[in-house]
Structure 1
Amino acid sequence: MASAEHDYQYFIQWLHRPDGGVSEDARRFGRLVLDNFEGVSATTRNRSQRSTHLVGLARRQFPAIDAGQPQLGAIAGGAGWRWQRLSHLSLGPFRGFRNVEDFDLARRIVLFYGPNGSGKTSLCEALEFALLGAVDEGAQKRIDAAQYLRNIHEDRFAPPQLAAFDARGQRVVVQADADAYRFCFIEKNRIDSFSRIAAKPAGQKTELIAALFGMDNFNEFVGQFNESIDAQLALVPTQGQELARRRQAIAHDTEMLAGEAANVAAFDQAEREYAEAFQAGLTYIQLQQMVGSADAPGRLQVLTEVLNQPAPALYSVRQQDLLEAFQAADVANDLVEEISAQLVLQQDDAAYQDLYAAVLKLQAQSPDHCPACETAIAGEPHVHTDPFIKATQGLEQLRELTLLKQRHHAAVDQRRVASDALQAYFANFAQRIGASVDSEHEVFRYVANPGVQPGTTWWKTGYNPVAGGVSLSQRTVDYARQLEERDAATRQSLEERAQLIAERDRLSEARIALAEHATRRRQVSDAIAQARQRVDVFEAQNADLIAAVVQEQTHIAAETRIQAAYNEFLGLLRLYRSELPGTLMAGLNNFAMELYNEFNVRDAVEDKLAALHLPVTGDGRIELSFQGAPDLRVDALQVLSEGHVRCLGLAILLAKASNIQAPTVIFDDAINAIDHEHRQGIREALFESERFANTQIIVTCHSNEFIKDIQNHVDHTQWVSYTFRHHTGDHHPRVLRDLPPQAYLVNARAAVDRGDHRGALQPSRQALEMLANKIWRWLGRCDLGVISVKLAGVGDQPSLRNLCDGIRSRLNGANTFEHVDKQPLLDALGQVVGIPEQNFLWQYLNKGTHEEQDRDDFDEGQVERLVALLEGMNALRLRNR
């Protein structure tokens, strides 16, 4: 059908769709191929022939190609249907037609019958050229159109002239439009190719849809593009590689120069972060000023000078501590004096206590005699009073005195501790203020030697007033208060000094950090300067090679641009090809399935299709489900026979033509691609159903029986028939236009009209046989196909009379069957084969088909009646329920 160039033009339109997102360079490459299509299509992928050709074209033309959408004219315009039915074709000289031939195409059905080689293909190619602007067969064979279409005996060709009727019934000239009319053609070769590809292994079926829709040329054209054009492009930078090899010697220098800005930025960032971390809001320059230098002293130098002065000392003497020491000594002494006074009052008791204690100590030596008089304790004579008991009782009575003595000893110890503590305080005091017995000030001398005498109240001496009426102890306490006040001031000064020390230490650390940072920055700067010097020397020494690399980069950039454009272009081209099945098959599933089932009307119900799933990509599968197992989805090409595959291909093509509302469908010998078993279903679906009642159908066929069946089952006013025969020496097909039709009832009516009554009866019987089978099939579609028929013997076929009786009985017995054609059928059958069994009409049907001697003439009225009844039966539409 359409040439590969036409399909490629359609791809160019697809490249320029607004939402495609295609780069301009990919569009340029597409335009490059379009402008050089003939030369590109003449190449193949073998030995990268196409890649080599494309690279040569791209180097010369690519930069100057316009990336805009090209003006392709009407060839890819798809203008649509400007007419309703073809009306006339004039062709010749053209291919097999040497002379001019005119064909009236005004009927709904146009039949061309003839043997192979009689001119049918030339006729279809004339229609193809008139409708599409090109003949695909010539393009496939790579023959120039003028050479391919010429008649070899006239050595020329004239473009066929094709006319049609528009919607107003006016005759118009048909203008070629491949987009609009490409699916009007259904060819035997395409169905054959479809069945052959279906028999290939699964991996080789990508051309399935392309072959079916006549796009195998385009599919082959796309398949000849090489996967890559890299091998034909100069993509390797040899000069650049040499320069890169040499640059390895200064790679570190180059890297350092490349990172110069980053290094400077890193140093600057480190400076900012360090200054901000040292003090919020402080800049690095301000920090440097604070650290200062010998030439420009800063805060650090000021702090160092201040802190080099000695720090003030603390006396660590508190007035309260001294007072508490005096008070503790006084309190301890008062307690000793108090207890001593109590002991004085009990001096006698103390003597007895000692006596009693001494007696008890002697009890161990003389337990039975008095220790004083040695009188026995018991016996005769014995002491009046037991001295040991008396001593024990006496000591018990003097227990309180014992406790008082113990308290006295404790008080003395306490006074000693207080005295020692006071003495220690005076010693610490003297040390703190540097006092000695030779000090100038009296208080210092007192502190250095307060007159300590162990076991005495030596401190009380300081309580005595001296000159001025103030005791030394009081003056010492007052001096301690003064020192305490001085310590408070000194502590505040030390706290301030500690803050200055911390500040100085931080600035000292910062000085070290700033010095280290400056050193690192200087080192990096020196290294960069040295690297730049070495790089400059390298650039000067390799100037020629660097210039060559620049030119090489420009060339490689151009080559890389071509590479990228080709890769994108090829991906898009293959994507477009893979999307074609989805585009072509869109909306065809149900319609194609219904047509397939009608083609296979004789198949069992469970073997008909419940669902059909056509592929949406080039490598997709045609899948289907049978009514016997509607949930099981299988690969159609694995389970269908070759005959069923051919029916499926024809169904898809017809569904496509119907889907685009094609006004005319042209069958180029396509019926002969289908086996005899399925031709009846195809004929009924095409010519007898309502599906294509408004579609013009042009058929070329070398099956006389198929033509005969069409003429018999379609009203003769809807069809016209041409017969082609081989030439008789003039090399021009014989076109027979006025041959008697093969339609039984048409021939019967013609015989009646000319008075040939016997001649009308034989086609009438043939017509009744045809009608009986037609009615029986109709009953089958209405679930009434089971009838009772008498047979003469085993293996015999039902006689026509028995078949008609069986049909009439089945209709009579179907009381619940209501149909508009039921009663007219019963009436007609009753008149033809009714009671009595040997009526005139049936006798005429029997006797009119046999030769008899001395036969009486047939009754003209009965013959007319019979033909009229059969015509009435044939006129019934016999639709389903």
Structure 2
Amino acid sequence: MTSALQDFQQFVHWLHRPDSGASDDARRFANMVSENFPAVAASSRQRSQRSSVLSEFARLSLTATSPDEPVPQAAEARAGWAFRKLHHLTVGPFRGFRQPEPFELQKRIVMFYGPNGSGKTSLCEALEFALLGAVDEGDIKRIAADRYLANSHEGRFARPVLLATDFDGRHRPVMADADTYRICFVEKNRIDAFSRIAAKPAGQKTELIAALFGIDQFNDFVGHFNDSMEGQLTLVAVKNQELVAKQATLNQDNATVADEGAALIRHAQAEQNYANAYSQGMTYAQLLAAIGSAEYPGRLQELEQAINQPAPTIFGVSATALINAYSASETAQKALNDLEGQLAKRSNDISFQDLYTAVLGLQQVVGDQCPACDTPLAGDYQALHNPYQKANDGLAGLRELAELQARQRTAIAARNAASEALRIFLATFAQRVGATIQSPLPVQRYLADPGVDAQRAWWVDGFQPDETGKSLAQRAVDLATELEARDVASRVILDNRQDLIDERDGLNQARIGVTTLASNRLQTLQAVTDARARIVAFAADNAPLIQQVAEEVEAIARDTRIRNAYDQFLSLLRRYRTELPGTLMAGLNALTLELYNEFNVRDLDADKLSALYLPVTGEGRIELSFRGTPAARIDALQILSEGHVRCLGLSILLAKCLSIRAPVIVFDDAINAIDHEHRQGIRETIFESDRFTGTQIIVTCHSNEFIKDIQNHVAPEHWAAYAFRHHSGNYHPRVLGNAMTQSYLLNARAAVERGDDRAALGASRQALEMLTSKVWGWLGRCEQGMLTLKIAGSGAEPGLRNLCEGIRAKLRGAPNFEHADKAPIIQALDHILGIPEQSLVWLYLNKGTHEEANREDFDVGVVELVVQTLETLNALQLRAR
């Protein structure tokens, strides 16, 4: 979190400006956070962790912290940059460098290229450590600096030694200053993060702009402050509330003691009212005496004793009902006997009745003939009398007999019903008196088994008198009469018993009420006793709480001040964070637009920008207008492709560097964040134009082609290159200096110097291809790019000599085109084309340096002329008019 600390210190400096409106306590709080920054930064907003850390620090040191600005800011004290350009760097042991490795940085452009893992990142981190004082990557990965920066094989690291050339030409060590030099680093991660800004919600744009300018750690640090610290502070007088509650209890205790007499009167009145409610005119003492107790029995105990006696039995047997049952049976039997006597007198009629009934029953079987003789009932030979008609007439005459038989059946049913009723009555009687066939008394044995027989008048057996002249039936009636009399006496006893039960239940209910009244009185007396005890013990028991209340008052005053300081501090910190991207972007619109259009020089003119509006706050949008539709102002992040957004991010960073006249810009693999389509425009803008001639450029890249293009399009005196290769077993990068240049002209000149004409012409062919392409591009920018070329056939590329002739013809055929570089180009092409096309020189320039045996030697003078001419042509600036 080193960069976050430095950004926070910049905020502290801003906070102490008069126009910030910060109170002294807010400044004290900011100074306190700055002094304890590592511990604060290590906390997060999860579960209010940061608030807990800050509350501890604030309670310990806020009041003792000075509200004054801790130290004067170096950036404010310095009138300008401390150096003009970097001069020399020694790295190692440090990260991937096991041994000290020197690097000369005097040139305007210093390039470091090689495959991934060869040491380029370690070199950039050495520059970062030397210029900023720390390496952010180690902080992000939460690795201690000593461990992160140490070479793993040496187990240690040495501080990189960085020398710079000041404005007086002296070489001085560079003093680390993160606030000043951070903007000098253009990293691939920043460009990548900014390219994804369009996919983010509006609220996250501030974070991505922060990432672009390298303040993302500060942005993250600010984001972890909790909205409030109240949960970790003492702001509510809990102890005082507790004491007030206890004092309220004490007041209640005093009132309880003072009310003792009145309370006892109320209890006495309630007790008397209860006694009156039980029985009008009864006193409470009388009620207590009636309820009694085990030691002093009262009416309640008397009632319990009486009620506990066995209750008399109710037999429920009626003598009258028994006599009626006997009489009913006798009456029914007598009626039956009369009918049976009448039927006996007409026994013959009964026989004829049966005969007639049988004849009629055969009519359905026999049909129209006599059932006795089979004589037909109709026809010539027929029976004298119709038997069926005779049977009908006979039954009609016996109708009185039928009625008599029906009455007999009814009498039998009545006799059976009366017999059953008598049997049931005797069975019930036997059950009531517990009679069995083994009972000692004859009447009981009779009741248990009276000799019931449904086919006869069985009860008559009980009418027979014994030796005393009484029958068993009469003795049963006498017993029923006796039991009826006993039931009358028992019912009187039972009626009196219910009254006793009701009186007992009433006294039991009164006993419960009396117990409640006694409990209430006892509670009142106990409450008065307890209240007196608490009144006596209050001061001693609550001495610690009273002390805590006094301490709580101080704590609330202290923590209220902390809360107010934190709230204003956090409000100002968030305001500063919100305004910071706008501050960083302020005044960059025009320069960013120019750089963006130069990066996209090969886009259609209508697709280039006519206006650019960078946001002045983190919530604002990046808006732009195209030359094709200059009146339309649209959101850049909605319309631009990812590649164009990357170009825009790079343009903003470089515009910032140019606006503050940064002496050096370090491209840490940033070129690889740009797609191939835009690399040429970026190369021409940064490395070939005059815009960055006053800025030293240090670039790391793993694209050999990009490095090669720089070496061939920039004069050799302006650049130096270091090639990095993987170690060969000693775990130290192999660093190759300018010995392995990729500049075609430098290689051609070196070949000439060592007498290798073939190699010189081979490199010259590559240089001539590069230079003719460069000149053709220059003609296009000067609106002269239309050439007439000869090609071998469909799909073929124009020959190199044909391209040179086409460019020369275009320049000679444009008398109205005037430019300082026009004549030198024509002169150079005259020299090149003046060499005969069929010569060995042009053979190599056209075909390349293929191996061919037995060739004649080259003319050294011609070879020198070719190389010299190309060097002259390469030195031209080729600027548009």
Question: Smaller-chain TM-score range?
Answer: 0.5 to 0.7
Native 8 Å contact 2:191 2:650 kept in 1: yes
Native 8 Å contact 2:801 2:846 kept in 1: no
Aligned to 2:323: none
Native 8 Å contact 2:836 2:842 kept in 1: no
Structure 2 gaps of 5+ residues are 250-541
**Distance in structure 2 (CA, Å) of the matches to 1:547 and 1:794:** 103
Native 8 Å contact 2:837 2:843 kept in 1: no
Does 2:116 align with 1:116?
Answer: yes
Does 2:94 align with 1:65?
Answer: no
**Distance in structure 2 (CA, Å) of the matches to 1:543 and 1:45:** 39
Does 2:637 align with 1:621?
Answer: no
SS of 1:571 mapped into structure 2 = helix
Give the 3 Å change call, closer, same or farther, for CA 245–620 of structure 1 in structure 2. farther
Question: Match of 2:868, as an amino acid?
Answer: A
Aligned to 1:165: 165
Q: CA deviation at 1:69?
A: 1.2
Question: Match of 1:819, as an amino acid?
Answer: H
Q: Residues 620-699 of structure 1: matches in 2 within 5 Å?
A: 620-699=620-699
Give the 3 Å change call, closer, same or farther, for CA 132–78 of structure 1 in structure 2. farther
Q: After superposition, what is the alpha-carbon deviation per residue over 1:689-742, rounded to whole angstroms, capped at 9, x for unaligned?
A: 001112111111110001111110111111111111111121111111253311
SS of 1:102 mapped into structure 2 = strand
Aligned to 1:710: 710
Question: Match of 2:764, as an amino acid?
Answer: S
Native 8 Å contact 1:112 1:699 kept in 2: yes
Q: CA deviation at 1:627?
A: 1.1
**Distance in structure 2 (CA, Å) of the matches to 1:572 and 1:73:** 19
Q: After superposition, what is the alpha-carbon deviation per residue over 1:351-384, rounded to whole angstroms, capped at 9, x for unaligned?
A: xxxxxxxxxxxxxxxxxxxxxxxxxxxxxxxxxx
Q: Residues 596-615 of structure 1: matches in 2 within 5 Å?
A: 596-615=596-615
**Distance in structure 2 (CA, Å) of the matches to 1:23 and 1:201:** 34
Q: After superposition, what is the alpha-carbon deviation per residue over 1:813-864, rounded to whole angstroms, capped at 9, x for unaligned?
A: 3222111011111222233236976577644523663333321111111111
Q: CA deviation at 1:619?
A: 2.3
Question: Match of 2:195, as an amino acid?
Answer: S
Aligned to 1:849: 849
Q: CA deviation at 1:110?
A: 0.9
**Distance in structure 2 (CA, Å) of the matches to 1:853 and 1:152:** 53
Does 2:226 align with 1:226?
Answer: yes
**Distance in structure 2 (CA, Å) of the matches to 1:818 and 1:244:** 99
Question: Match of 1:649, as an amino acid?
Answer: G
Aligned to 1:144: 144
**Distance in structure 1 (CA, Å) of the matches to 2:22 and 2:173:** 39
Give the 3 Å change call, closer, same or farther, for CA 77–54 of structure 1 in structure 2. farther
Q: After superposition, what is the alpha-carbon deviation per residue over 1:576-634, rounded to whole angstroms, capped at 9, x for unaligned?
A: 11111122112211111111111111111111111111121122221111111112111
SS of 1:112 mapped into structure 2 = strand
Question: Match of 1:597, as an amino acid?
Answer: N
Q: After superposition, what is the alpha-carbon deviation per residue over 1:294-323, rounded to whole angstroms, capped at 9, x for unaligned?
A: xxxxxxxxxxxxxxxxxxxxxxxxxxxxxx
TM-score, length-normalised on structure 1? 0.64
Question: Match of 1:774, as an amino acid?
Answer: K
Q: Residues 557-572 of structure 1: matches in 2 within 5 Å?
A: 557-572=557-572
**Distance in structure 1 (CA, Å) of the matches to 2:826 and 2:75:** 57
Q: After superposition, what is the alpha-carbon deviation per residue over 1:440-488, rounded to whole angstroms, capped at 9, x for unaligned?
A: xxxxxxxxxxxxxxxxxxxxxxxxxxxxxxxxxxxxxxxxxxxxxxxxx
Q: CA deviation at 1:769?
A: 0.8
Deviates more, 1:788-797 or 1:92-101: 788-797
Give the 3 Å change call, closer, same or farther, for CA 21–757 of structure 1 in structure 2. same
**Distance in structure 2 (CA, Å) of the matches to 1:602 and 1:66:** 58
**Distance in structure 2 (CA, Å) of the matches to 1:76 and 1:824:** 50
- Count of aligned residue pairs for this structure pair: 595
Native 8 Å contact 1:84 1:663 kept in 2: yes
Q: Residues 779-794 of structure 1: matches in 2 within 5 Å?
A: 779-794=779-794
**Distance in structure 1 (CA, Å) of the matches to 2:761 and 2:238:** 95
Q: CA deviation at 1:34?
A: 1.0
Q: CA deviation at 1:18?
A: 2.6
SS of 1:19 mapped into structure 2 = helix
Aligned to 1:823: 823
**Distance in structure 2 (CA, Å) of the matches to 1:640 and 1:77:** 41
SS of 1:723 mapped into structure 2 = strand
Q: CA deviation at 1:78?
A: 6.0
Aligned to 1:236: 236
**Distance in structure 2 (CA, Å) of the matches to 1:729 and 1:849:** 36
**Distance in structure 2 (CA, Å) of the matches to 1:626 and 1:244:** 73
Question: Match of 1:564, as an amino acid?
Answer: N
Aligned to 1:338: none
Q: Residues 410-449 of structure 1: matches in 2 within 5 Å?
A: none
Structure 1 gaps of 5+ residues are 250-541
Aligned to 2:317: none
**Distance in structure 1 (CA, Å) of the matches to 2:102 and 2:836:** 54
**Distance in structure 2 (CA, Å) of the matches to 1:553 and 1:173:** 56
Native 8 Å contact 1:722 1:735 kept in 2: yes
Does 2:19 align with 1:19?
Answer: yes
**Distance in structure 2 (CA, Å) of the matches to 1:75 and 1:217:** 20
Native 8 Å contact 1:589 1:614 kept in 2: yes
Aligned to 1:411: none
Give the 3 Å change call, closer, same or farther, for CA 16–761 of structure 1 in structure 2. same
Q: CA deviation at 1:234?
A: 2.2
Aligned to 2:874: 874
Question: Match of 1:574, as an amino acid?
Answer: R
Cα root mean square deviation, aligned = 2.9
Q: CA deviation at 1:239?
A: 5.1
Aligned to 1:375: none
Aligned to 1:728: 728
SS of 1:630 mapped into structure 2 = strand
Q: After superposition, what is the alpha-carbon deviation per residue over 1:636-688, rounded to whole angstroms, capped at 9, x for unaligned?
A: 11111111111111111111111111111111111111111111111111111
Deviates more, 1:712-721 or 1:735-744: 735-744
**Distance in structure 2 (CA, Å) of the matches to 1:201 and 1:580:** 19
Aligned to 1:512: none
**Distance in structure 1 (CA, Å) of the matches to 2:653 and 2:775:** 30
Aligned to 2:254: none
**Distance in structure 2 (CA, Å) of the matches to 1:143 and 1:850:** 55
Give the 3 Å change call, closer, same or farther, for CA 717–96 of structure 1 in structure 2. same
Q: After superposition, what is the alpha-carbon deviation per residue over 1:472-517, rounded to whole angstroms, capped at 9, x for unaligned?
A: xxxxxxxxxxxxxxxxxxxxxxxxxxxxxxxxxxxxxxxxxxxxxx
**Distance in structure 2 (CA, Å) of the matches to 1:171 and 1:714:** 26
**Distance in structure 2 (CA, Å) of the matches to 1:548 and 1:128:** 54
TM-score, length-normalised on structure 2? 0.64
**Distance in structure 2 (CA, Å) of the matches to 1:144 and 1:657:** 31
Q: After superposition, what is the alpha-carbon deviation per residue over 1:91-121, rounded to whole angstroms, capped at 9, x for unaligned?
A: 1111111101111111111111111111111
Question: Match of 1:823, as an amino acid?
Answer: A
Q: Residues 500-515 of structure 1: matches in 2 within 5 Å?
A: none
**Distance in structure 2 (CA, Å) of the matches to 1:586 and 1:659:** 10
**Distance in structure 2 (CA, Å) of the matches to 1:4 and 1:609:** 35
Aligned to 1:776: 776
Question: Match of 2:15, as an amino acid?
Answer: L
Q: CA deviation at 1:246?
A: 11
Does 2:104 align with 1:104?
Answer: yes
**Distance in structure 2 (CA, Å) of the matches to 1:216 and 1:241:** 46
SS of 1:206 mapped into structure 2 = helix
Q: Residues 281-300 of structure 1: matches in 2 within 5 Å?
A: none
**Distance in structure 1 (CA, Å) of the matches to 2:547 and 2:143:** 51
Q: After superposition, what is the alpha-carbon deviation per residue over 1:524-579, rounded to whole angstroms, capped at 9, x for unaligned?
A: xxxxxxxxxxxxxxxxxx99999976654432222221111111101110111111
Native 8 Å contact 2:592 2:648 kept in 1: yes
Native 8 Å contact 1:121 1:668 kept in 2: yes
Native 8 Å contact 2:75 2:180 kept in 1: no
**Distance in structure 2 (CA, Å) of the matches to 1:566 and 1:132:** 30
Aligned to 1:210: 210
Deviates more, 1:776-785 or 1:35-44: 776-785
Q: Residues 321-470 of structure 1: matches in 2 within 5 Å?
A: none
Question: Match of 1:628, as an amino acid?
Answer: G
SS of 1:210 mapped into structure 2 = helix
Native 8 Å contact 2:206 2:581 kept in 1: no
Q: CA deviation at 1:808?
A: 2.3
**Distance in structure 2 (CA, Å) of the matches to 1:102 and 1:229:** 52
SS of 2:88 mapped into structure 1 = strand
Question: Match of 2:616, as an amino acid?
Answer: V
Question: Match of 2:52, as an amino acid?
Answer: T
